[in-house]
Chain A
Amino acid sequence: AQKVTQAQTEISVVEKEDVTLDCVYETRDTTYYLFWYKQPPSGELVFLIRRNSFDEQNEISGRYSWNFQKSTSSFNFTITASQVVDSAVYFCALSWEGGGNKLTFGTGTQLKVEL
């Protein structure tokens, strides 16, 4: 079965701290795709990144970085020097070749960045 686990329900940090959001996935497919979405207080879902299962390169985009490790089935997301505007719920999600294009979500991590 396909599953995404985000064990951290809520994280609180002080501005400028670094924070890592964990994502662990389960799938039997060898070809799959991992995503991170941000949901700010306004409620919309904002796409952040997509990673293919055959591309384990880490990625950095400004203050955001992603660490994909197939050996541990993890796709963790780090925010460096967090800012109040980073406060949101972050979702990790999985789709797979045999899954009919469906997207399975984790339960989300609420990140609160305080001054």
Chain B
Amino acid sequence: NAGVTQTPKFQVLKTGQSMTLQCAQDMNHEYMSWYRQDPGMGLRLIHYSVGAGITDQGEVPNGYNVSRSTTEDFPLRLLSAAPSQTSVYFCASRSLKSSGNTIYFGEGSWLTVV
């Protein structure tokens, strides 16, 4: 019953450092996405993918890169971390086999950039 697995759960970065948030799902979902959660702003979409080799930008993509080499994995890369990227990050996935399928979230990754 792994579902959507995110690592690491907590991370502190210095400004300018790079890192990758890992996300894996074992439900064979075509659609995967990354959101960030900031106080008073709900969750905002960063990037998403509808299948291996296909990615697209969401609402707040600047400063982040993604790739989708396999169905299972969808890593999020911060190339040069900035304090504005301090946030909680959620990976999510869903099946595209029918419309409106429920989106399932990972447990979140708390990132602090100092």
Does B31 belong to the interface (CB within 8 Å)? yes
Q: How far is the CA of A93 from the CA of B33 in the complex (A)?
A: 15
Which of these, A33, A102, A106, A108, contacts B45 with CB under 8 Å? A102
Q: Judging by beta carbons under 8 Å apart, are A43 and B88 in contact?
A: yes
Which residues in B have their C-beta under 8 angstroms from that of A20? none
**A60–B10 Cα gap in the complex (Å)?**
37
B96 part of interface (Cβ distance < 8 Å): yes
B64, CB-defined interface residue at 8 Å: no
| Residues of B with C-beta under 8 A to A95 | 100, 103
- Tell which of B14-22, B36-44, B74-82 binds the partner: B36-44
Of the candidates B35, B40, B100, B107, which one forms a contact with A43 in the assembled complex, judged by CB atoms under 8 Å apart? B107
Say yes or no: A45-B105 contact (C-beta < 8 A), given A100-B56, A103-B45, A107-B40.
yes
A25 contacts B by Cβ under 8 Å: no
CB distance from B24 to the nearest CB of A (A): 16
Please tell me if B61 contacts chain A, counting CB pairs below 8 Å.
Answer: no
A37, A47, A95, A101 — most chain B CB neighbours (10 Å): A101
Closest chain-A Cβ to B6's Cβ sits at a distance in Å of 10
**Cβ of A108 and Cβ of B42 under 8 Å apart?**
yes
Q: Which of B31, B102, B110 contacts A47 (CB under 8 A)?
A: B102
Q: Is residue A35 contacting chain B, with contact meaning CB distance below 8 A?
A: yes
Q: How far is the CB of B20 from chain A (nearest CB, A)?
A: 20
A91 adjacent to B99 (CB under 8 Å):
no
With A and B bound together, what is the CA distance between A91 and B35 in angstroms?
14
User: Assuming the A-B contacts A43-B108, A44-B108, are A97 and B99 also in contact, with contact meaning beta carbons closer than 8 angstroms in the complex?
Assistant: yes
Select A44's contact among B33, B40, B43, B107, beta carbons within 8 Å. B107
A102 → chain B, closest Cβ, in Å? 6
Q: Sorted from nearest, which 10 A-B pairs have the closest CB atoms?
A: A33-B100, A105-B42, A45-B105, A105-B43, A107-B42, A44-B107, A43-B108, A101-B31, A50-B102, A47-B102
Which A residues are within 8 Å of any B CB, using their own CB?
4, 9, 31, 33, 35, 37, 43-45, 47, 50, 52, 91, 93, 95, 97, 100-103, 105-108
